[in-house]
Structure 1
Amino acid sequence: MLLPLLRARRALLPALLLTLLPATAGAAGKTAADWQAAARADIEAVHQLILTAHPGSIDELNPGFRVWAEQGYREALQLIPRVNSYDSMMAAARYYVSGFRDGHLIYSDNARRDYPMLVNGWRLRKQGSDYVVDAHLKDWPAPLPPLGAQLLRCDGREVDAILAEDVAPYIERRSNGKLAEHLAGALTVPALPDLQLKRCQFRTAQGAVLDMPITYQGIPMQRYFQPWEKAPPKSPQQQRRSNKFSFEDGVLWISAANFNALPSKEQIAEFDAMLADLGTLQGVRLMVFDVRGNGGGSSVIGDKIFTAATGGLDYDKQDLDKLPRTYAQWRVSDLLLETAGKFTQGFVTRYGPDSAEAKRSEAFLKQVQQARAKGETWVEQPGGNLLTRAEVARRGGKLRRYGGPVALLTDASCASACLDFADLVLSVPGAVHLGRTTGADTLYIDVGRARLPSGNVLVMPQKVWRNRLRGSDEALAPGIVLKADLDDDAAVRAETLAALKRDRRAAP
């Protein structure tokens, strides 16, 4: 891959409503008309970038993309009269962006400055099929629903309907379990002035039903990110995971949890040392690749971990040219030129001008420059031939340095470069997939960043894959679904090893 496959997660900051705060709005120095003009400018800029730089707008294999590019643009413009604040400006722009249902296409929130956030003082969390109040803002001036109370409905509407109609269109329209958790938390702040909750019913832990008015208050962003008063957790808390491994009783457990580009030479050296250690291990009888918490990043990092642990996948190469060709097409644009230049400079700084990473990036930059000069639309990136798992097995696929069982452990966070890594591991004949169903991504990946009139940034894919092993928006479902809380490392390890012991493919 010529540029790191960057998985930028959608920012899920709440929306701001200033209708209840005329004094605050005045202090901020902007009127509703100002915010409406800002929303229009950003929506128009996003529309123009989509048309001139996104591969989807000229992708003949995906006509539906162009349909939303225009329909969504018109619908977003119709929201402008409802805009009166920074956050409702964001909501209008994100309505357009979220309609593409692509985790690589993101409207950022980094121009907020001192604009306040209007919140209701409590935060919701999804637990199973229920929605439970799990946090309060401290020193809230009005009554709040008790911690642990279940939200039943608001204003005569079911919670799922509120999230689907009033939250998802302005934040995240794709559906999987992980994204649903984000939507519940986003109910703290409405996206547009007419989407405020007025009255809700809750069921307490003791079974009593409470009917309460919902109040909103403007707060500084800094207060929102200070510690909230939380209900005692009923399960282990989600952990920040890193790339590491453990080797015990012949079980090599590799946590491949972070594929983000390494920002410093020190971290690069630490990562390289881990890879070297992996290559020296002897007596491995079971290998588990654990990608819990991995939301993507650079596929190069995953490839290096896999190769260090296994020596890489080998198979009969005869007549490969008879298989379908896999390749990517980069959309030639000003944004791609800028992105390629930035990555080249970054690789030179981190790895050195003579490194393979820097030279590869410089060569790609020259390709883009030459294509631009010739007026060409695409720069092609070869991807080899399409090797399905069945084809690898037919060709006698095996790992070069390890002949034992291989397992992959996933959760719903797995997307982008994490999915590329999952494809690689599952290409090993006999590999067992455990955990939960992954996320999914479209064929549009490898992002650039364009600054918008508001100061916020549009993160946008710049290339499209052709004949990729995994289809567009195709999630990977495990053959063995784990029942353990995936944040409980001990329980996950115990259930994983027990399940693999029962599975004949993974029997050491």
Structure 2
Amino acid sequence: MNQKQRAIFVLSILMLGNAQAAPPEWPAITRQDVEFAAQTLAGKHIGAVAGHLHVTEPLKNGLPVALAEAAVARDEQDYLRTISRFIYGFGDPHTGINLQLKRSGWTGLVIDRVNGQFRVIWSEKKWPNPLPEQGAAVQSCDGVWLGTYLQTRVMPYQSHAPEYSTSMSEAARSMMFERGLGIAPKRCVFKLADGRTQEFPLPMHALQDSGNISEKHILEVRKTYVAVARDVGVYALGKSMYWVGMPSFGVTDEGKAFEKVYARLEKLKQDKWIIFDLRGNGGGDSNWGTRALTALFGENYSDQLTEMGGHAKFMVASKESIAWAKTYAADPNFAASKPMFDAMIPKLEAALAAGKNTALISGDEKQSPQALLAALPPKPAGPRIAAVIDRNCFSSCMNFLQQIKAIPGNVVLGESTLGYSPYGEIDRFKLPSERGYIYIPAAYYMVAEAAREPFVPGFPYSGNMADDSKLMSWVEEVLRGMK
């Protein structure tokens, strides 16, 4: 079946399920936003401009389906589902969408994948309707096995692509909440602790301002299973071992907390282990991580390590890229990287004036990452490095992790990440309907890792990554047991 036939087939199926004619405004609104998103991706996404397979194929195959869905959009939910499915079809959080969706309802449960089985990890005690107890195994929802339900009903609306080890877990965690997409099941069958099987209706209850059906309460519940690194700082972990919290590289205090970390690390060069806690670090300016290595091993060595996170960098040559660079060059929270932004602006301007689609911003595109790694000098005297990662270590966090992995004797612990995205420098574009924004990367980094390849820890942790006490004790035990 070719592309045109597939689009006609999808449209036919959708029209069969819509007996009433769609109101004319929603097909028009949906189509204009889908077409705008496709055109912007094609011209502004560095992967599309450079012809990268994992970008061009979702664009080519996803657009006909999205346009077919747009033609029969009946309401706002159809609009949200169509545009979300199209953008998340790229399977890369760097290519994102913000439709200002907020949680508006909850069934009272949180499901997760635990040791290969779907289980209830949170069950509200005071709830308007009966719920299965925490620990109950989920067998099916709305008549199908939960894995099938998640794959078909939930995963099209999240950026965690199906091939990653934590994707089913992420889908399960989000399925019992309402955010305008209508992904929650109406009823599920559970196997209870006593061996009985029971079906529970799962009506959605609207969020209130207080109590156990409130956004505040949900955020407290999330803290029990969504991992976030400790606050930016240095924490003693037994003798000659220090835990460094790095929850984000997107600073809001002009880097003052990180500056204190560097000053402390300067005094810890003779200690045995420095452990960087990167749980939940979704990125920002990777320079905040690199400077920690500078504090430990000196500027010359850390400068060479930075090439492990990208030995050449290309950007789309466009007025948007130039405006983006000027904005960040003027932002005090990115003052440490101002020279980098200042240097890229004239290169982008020259490429745009010459009619080029891309500009080489830094590095040597002919250089081999393997040769760079082989040429890396011996590690200066100093502590051994460990990194604790999880499913939400992404973007600049991965850049920092690439530098850590290049250091001999490193140790990586925790949970597998999403697949590596070789992109960065994200710009946003307002949708024509003004219902939100799409986010598109303008830069591409040449590195050793393949696009969408996950970082896998050498020491996987099977427990709850959000439980600081147990995780830190386990890390200390692993590291002290190493020669």
State the TM-score, normalized to the length of structure 1. Answer: 0.77
> 1:135-154 counterparts in 2 under 5 A?
135-136=123-124, 140=128, 144-146=131-133, 148-154=135-141
Q: State which of 331, 334, 340 in structure 1 corresponds to 2:316.
A: 331
Shift of 1:365: 2.5
1:451–1:457 Cα contact (<8 Å) kept: yes
String of CA shifts for 1:429-456, please: whole Å, max 9, x gaps.
Answer: 2222233323222223221111112320
Contact 2:287 2:336 in 1 (8 A): no
Per-residue deviation at 1:299?
A: 1.1
Q: Which residue of 1 aligns with 2:4?
A: none
1:336 deviation in Å? 1.5
* 1:342 matches 2:327: yes
| Contact 2:430 2:438 survives alignment (8 Å) | yes
Cα deviation for residue 231 of structure 1 reads: 8.6
2:226 aligned with 1:241, yes or no? no
- Partner residue, 1:7: none
Q: 1:126: which partner in 2?
A: 113
Asked if 2 retains the 8 angstrom alpha-carbon contact of 1:256 and 1:305, the reply is no
Amino acid at match of 2:361: Q
Q: How does 1:117-196 map to 2 (within 5 A)?
A: 117=104, 120=107, 122-128=109-115, 129-132=117-120, 134-136=122-124, 140=128, 144-146=131-133, 148-175=135-162, 176-188=164-176
Question: 1:296 and 1:286 mapped to 2: Cα distance?
Answer: 24
Identity of aligned residues (%): 21
**2:88 matched to 1:98?**
yes
**Larger deviation: 93-102 or 360-369?**
360-369
Instruction: Quote how far apart the aligned CAs of 1:498 are.
Output: 3.0
Letter in 2 for 1:92: T
Is 1:403 equivalent to 2:403 in the alignment? Answer: no
Alignment of 1:303-452 (within 5 A): 303-312=290-299, 314=301, 326-347=311-332, 350=333, 357-383=337-363, 385-388=367-370, 392=373, 396-399=377-380, 402-452=381-431
Distance in 2 between residues matched to 1:396 and 1:308, nearest whole Å: 17
Whole-Å Cα distance in 2 between the matches of residues 329 and 137 of structure 1? 53
Alignment match, 2:257? 270
Counterpart pick for 1:71 among 41, 61, 67: 61
1:296 and 1:126 mapped to 2: Cα distance?
26
Which amino acid in the other structure matches residue 47 of structure 1? A
Unaligned runs of 5+ in 1: 1-30, 318-322
Q: Which amino acid aligns with 1:341?
A: K
Distance 2:395 2:457 in 1: 17
Asked if 1 retains the 8 angstrom alpha-carbon contact of 2:414 and 2:460, the reply is yes
Deviation at 1:150, TM superposition (A): 3.1
**Residue by residue, what CA displacement relative to the aligned partner does 1:47-73 show, whole Å, maximum 9, x if unpaired?**
11011111122224x245323212201
**RMSD, matched Cα:** 3.7
What does residue 481 of structure 1 align with? 460
Contact 2:328/2:341 (8 A) holds in 1: yes
Q: Which moved more, 1:183-192 or 1:215-224?
A: 215-224
Q: Which residue in 2 is equivalent to 1:250?
A: 240
- Structure 2 residue ranges without an equivalent (≥5): 1-21
CA–CA separation in structure 1 for the residues paired with 2:87 and 2:132? 33
Shift of the 396–364 alpha-carbon distance from structure 1 to 2, 3 Å rule, reads: closer
Farther off after superposition, 493-502 or 183-192? 183-192
Matched letter for residue 439 of structure 1: L
Give the C-alpha shift of residue 77 in structure 1: 1.6
Could you say which structure has the greater relative contact order, defined with CA pairs below 8 angstroms and 6 or more residues apart? 1
**AA paired with 1:426?**
K
How many angstroms apart in 1 are the aligned matches of 2:277 and 2:398?
A: 12
Query: Residue by residue, what CA displacement relative to the aligned partner does 1:251-276 show, whole Å, maximum 9, x if unpaired?
Result: 2332333211x2234xx233223212
In structure 2, the CA distance between the partners of 1:35 and 1:269, relative to structure 1 (3 Å rule), is: same
- Aligned twin of 2:31: 40
Task: State the secondary structure of the residue aligned to 1:503.
Answer: coil
Question: Alignment partner of 2:100: what SS?
Answer: coil
- What corresponds to 2:268 in structure 1? 281
SS in 2 for 1:449: strand
Instruction: Return closer, same or farther for 1:287/1:371 CA change in 2, 3 Å cut-off.
Output: same
Letter in 2 for 1:89: Y
**How far is 1:216 from its partner?**
4.3
Query: Is the contact made by 2:123 and 2:132 (CA closer than 8 Å) also made in structure 1?
Result: no
Displacement of 1:357 after TM fit? 3.6
TM-score, normalising length: structure 2: 0.81
C-alpha distance 403-217 of structure 1, shift in aligned 2 (>3 A): closer
Does the CA contact (< 8 Å) of 1:117 and 1:221 recur in 2? no
CA distance in structure 2 between the aligned counterparts of 1:315 and 1:118, rounded to whole angstroms:
48
